[in-house]
Structure 1
Amino acid sequence: MHGKQPRLRDQVRAVIRVNHYSIRTEQTYWYWIRYFIRFHKMKHPREMGPREVNEFLTWLALHRNVAAPTQTQALNSLVFHLARGA
């Protein structure tokens, strides 16, 4: 019998810890992943891809005036998440 799938937060945490990322990186990545999901009106990340990432990063740059290094940090968080299926 299969148990309930872990919550997204727990999945992200597990992948980060297995890969020996720092706690600060974990917190930062989770911040950007949540922000991304909320930006897309709570759409599940499995339903999103490069187009949604581009929309989010463009919005950050044009409407939130986020600096380039911060955009890169957001991108890295989303690539980590989407590539690993966490």
Structure 2
Amino acid sequence: MGASEVAAFLSYLANEKAVSASTHKQALAALLFLYKHVLRIDLPWLTEIGKPRSSHRLPVVLSTEDISTLFAHLSDVHLLLAKLLYGTGMRLNEATC
């Protein structure tokens, strides 16, 4: 495959398959590895193919009021477990083992 075919494949992934930026970058990295290490072909144009920008997403977190409301609806062991999980950052399976 030449530059136009590789660019067309990556464009297909981005436009028609609507893959994420990380998937697109992984496909490009796989092609780079294939040409450089497996086929031992140095293709300088391959590194010049554009890489998509990753979207920066902020994690969804609960406000202090939301946590207080949640805790108000719990009691006994459930309240203790919820406070333990919230306060330490443990995962649910870590607290229930």
TM-score by length of structure 2 reads: 0.37
Normalising to structure 1: TM-score of the pair? 0.42
Report 1 or 2 for greater relative contact order, CA contacts < 8 Å, sequence distance ≥ 6: 1
Structure number with bigger Rg = 2
